[in-house]
Protein backbone atom coordinates (compact mmCIF):
# COMPACT_ATOMS: atom_id res chain seq x y z
CA UNK A 1 0.00 0.00 0.00
CA UNK A 2 1.34 3.40 -0.90
CA UNK A 3 0.89 6.58 1.11
CA UNK A 4 -1.43 8.00 -1.54
CA UNK A 5 -4.20 5.44 -1.08
CA UNK A 6 -7.24 6.54 0.95
CA UNK A 7 -7.70 5.01 4.39
CA UNK A 8 -11.30 4.03 3.67
CA UNK A 9 -13.50 2.49 1.01
CA UNK A 10 -16.92 3.74 0.03
CA UNK A 11 -19.82 1.31 0.16
CA UNK A 12 -19.87 1.30 -3.65
CA UNK A 13 -16.18 0.28 -3.71
CA UNK A 14 -16.85 -2.50 -1.20
CA UNK A 15 -19.77 -3.74 -3.30
CA UNK A 16 -17.53 -3.86 -6.38
CA UNK A 17 -14.72 -5.61 -4.50
CA UNK A 18 -17.10 -8.26 -3.17
CA UNK A 19 -19.11 -8.57 -6.38
CA UNK A 20 -22.40 -7.84 -4.64
CA UNK A 21 -25.17 -5.36 -5.34
CA UNK A 22 -24.90 -1.87 -3.90
CA UNK A 23 -28.10 -2.36 -1.85
CA UNK A 24 -26.74 -5.57 -0.35
CA UNK A 25 -23.52 -3.81 0.63
CA UNK A 26 -25.47 -1.00 2.31
CA UNK A 27 -27.56 -3.53 4.22
CA UNK A 28 -24.39 -5.29 5.38
CA UNK A 29 -22.80 -2.10 6.71
CA UNK A 30 -26.08 -1.09 8.41
CA UNK A 31 -26.47 -4.44 10.16
CA UNK A 32 -22.78 -4.67 11.10
CA UNK A 33 -21.84 -7.58 8.86
CA UNK A 34 -19.23 -5.42 7.15
CA UNK A 35 -17.15 -3.19 9.47
CA UNK A 36 -18.06 0.43 8.82
CA UNK A 37 -18.40 3.80 10.48
CA UNK A 38 -21.08 6.34 9.73
CA UNK A 39 -19.88 9.91 9.51
CA UNK A 40 -22.90 12.16 9.24
CA UNK A 41 -24.75 10.82 6.19
CA UNK A 42 -21.89 8.78 4.73
CA UNK A 43 -20.70 5.26 5.49
CA UNK A 44 -16.92 4.74 5.52
CA UNK A 45 -15.31 1.30 5.50
CA UNK A 46 -11.80 1.36 6.97
CA UNK A 47 -9.46 -0.53 4.60
CA UNK A 48 -7.51 -2.33 7.34
CA UNK A 49 -10.65 -3.50 9.17
CA UNK A 50 -12.28 -4.53 5.88
CA UNK A 51 -9.32 -6.64 4.81
CA UNK A 52 -8.98 -8.13 8.30
CA UNK A 53 -12.68 -9.01 8.12
CA UNK A 54 -12.16 -10.61 4.71
CA UNK A 55 -9.21 -12.59 6.06
CA UNK A 56 -11.28 -13.73 9.04
CA UNK A 57 -8.99 -11.95 11.51
CA UNK A 58 -11.89 -10.45 13.44
CA UNK A 59 -13.22 -13.15 15.72
CA UNK A 60 -16.29 -11.21 16.86
CA UNK A 61 -18.87 -9.79 14.46
CA UNK A 62 -18.03 -6.28 13.32
CA UNK A 63 -20.13 -3.51 14.78
CA UNK A 64 -21.14 -0.41 12.94
CA UNK A 65 -20.51 2.84 14.73
CA UNK A 66 -21.99 6.26 14.16
CA UNK A 67 -20.29 9.61 14.42
CA UNK A 68 -22.41 12.75 14.48
Say how many domains are in the chain.
1
Domain presence at residue 37: yes
Domain presence at residue 3: no
Domain presence at residue 14: yes
Confidence class for position 58, pLDDT limits 50, 70, 90: low
Question: Cα(45)–Cα(37) distance, rounded to whole angstroms?
Answer: 6
Per residue in 2-42, pLDDT (tens digit) is 678 899 999 999 999 999 999 999 999 999 999 999 999 99
What pLDDT is attached to residue 63?
Answer: 57
Domain presence at residue 2: no
Domain carrying residue 28: 8-67
Domain presence at residue 53: yes
Sheet of 42-46, strand order: 8-9, 42-46, 37-39, 65-67
Domain presence at residue 1: no
Average pLDDT over residues 42-61: 84
Amino acid sequence: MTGTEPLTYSVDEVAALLGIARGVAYECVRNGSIPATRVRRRWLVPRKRFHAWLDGAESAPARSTEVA
